Structure 1
Amino acid sequence: MSVVVNVHQAKTHFSKLLAQAHAGQEIIVAKAGVPYARLMPLAADTGGRQPGRLSGRLGDEFFESLPDDELDAWDFA
């Protein structure tokens, strides 16, 4: 369940609210009763990016020079 706090409360108790969010609590910050922002924990790192993961999957043609007509199409000078 979400906790709704106004901006003044959020500024006054930010450290406490941050600890609650880190523990899994969702905090809604409202301005004049209108929800403005959500303070919630970040998703756990799933190891999405892994350097070298695609190693060896590019063929040699990838590293060959492009034809002159294709290179000219990229020339903006």
Structure 2
Amino acid sequence: MNVHEAKTRMSEPLARVEAGDEVVIARAGHPVATLVPIAVPAERSLGFVEGFQAPESFFDPLPDDELAAWDGR
């Protein structure tokens, strides 16, 4: 597909890409870009140790002295 056609009818190449196709965009007959579907990462669950649950205090703000240590102060 040439650049002018892609600009004029952008919804068509996007529909092809959404359907799983790759669309090559060319300028003066020379390929310059490829439109490809974005790979959506699989859903991941938090944590990797089965049965482990962080205590509620895990989500509490850190004390000022510990924050200072992380900041290098």
TM-score, normalised relative to structure 2: 0.58
1:8-64 Cα distance to aligned partner (Å, 9 max, x none): 11112211111111001100111122222211111134125x6xx2573xx8xxx42
Letter matched to residue 10 of structure 1: A
Structure 1 counterpart of 2:69: 66
Unaligned runs of 5+ in 1: 72-77
SS of residue in 2 equivalent to 1:66: helix
Hey, which of these two has a bigger chunk of strand by percent? Answer: 1
Please, what TM-score do these two structures have when normalized by structure 1? 0.56
**Gap regions ≥5 residues in structure 2:** 48-52
Q: Secondary structure at the match of 1:10?
A: helix
Q: Distance in 2 between matches of 1:11 and 1:24?
A: 20
C-alpha RMSD of the superposition: 2.7
Aligned residues: 57
What residue number does 1:9 align with? Answer: 5
